[in-house]
Structures are given as C-alpha cells and as structure tokens.
C-alpha cells in the first residue's frame, strides 16, 4: 500500500505535530508514505529528517490519499 499524505507538517503548530506523528507512524508500520506539504505560515519550521527523505518519493501510484489540514477538513 502506498499513501499520499498531504498536510501542514512544516508549520510548527500542534496540528503540524499531529501530521508529523501520523506520517512517522505510517512509516514505522511499513506503509510506503509520500508526504507533501501545504502551509498556513509564512516560513517553514523544522521537521524530522526522515520526513525529508520520504518527500523524495514519487506520488505516482498511490492507493490512498490522506488530506490532513485543519480538523474540519481532515
């Protein structure tokens, strides 16, 4: 299974931290996860190197898309 995970994990907010934890949990469970960032902030904050590595993966052929933005849009 390959998952495209669209979220605001670069924002440095609580919601961004939730996205980081979800991405890392999917990765730890053996799911091929491809994170793509959206942002509500002017600048990116720091985020884990593992996610930076996963960003290099292609989004072609994803089976599932998770769009994790704000709670009312999750």
Where along the chain do its domains lie?
2-73
pLDDT < 50: residue spans in the chain: none
CA separation for the pair 31, 29 (Å, rounded): 6
Contact 2, 34 (CB under 8 A): yes
3-class SS of residue 21: helix
8 Å CB contact between 34 and 71:
no
Q: What is the pLDDT of residue 55?
A: 97
* Contact in structure between 45 and 16 (CB atoms under 8 Å): yes
pLDDT of residue 69: 84
Residue 70 pLDDT: 74
């Amino acid at each position: 299974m390959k998952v495209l995970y669209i979220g605001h994990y670069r924002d440095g907010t609580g919601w961004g931290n939730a996205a980081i934890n979800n991405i890392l949990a999917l990765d730890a469970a053996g799911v091929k996860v491809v994170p793509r960032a959206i942002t509500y902030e002017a600048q990116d904050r720091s985020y884990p190197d593992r996610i930076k590595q996963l960003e290099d993966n292609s989004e072609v052929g994803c089976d599932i898309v998770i769009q994790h933005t704000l709670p009312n849009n999750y």
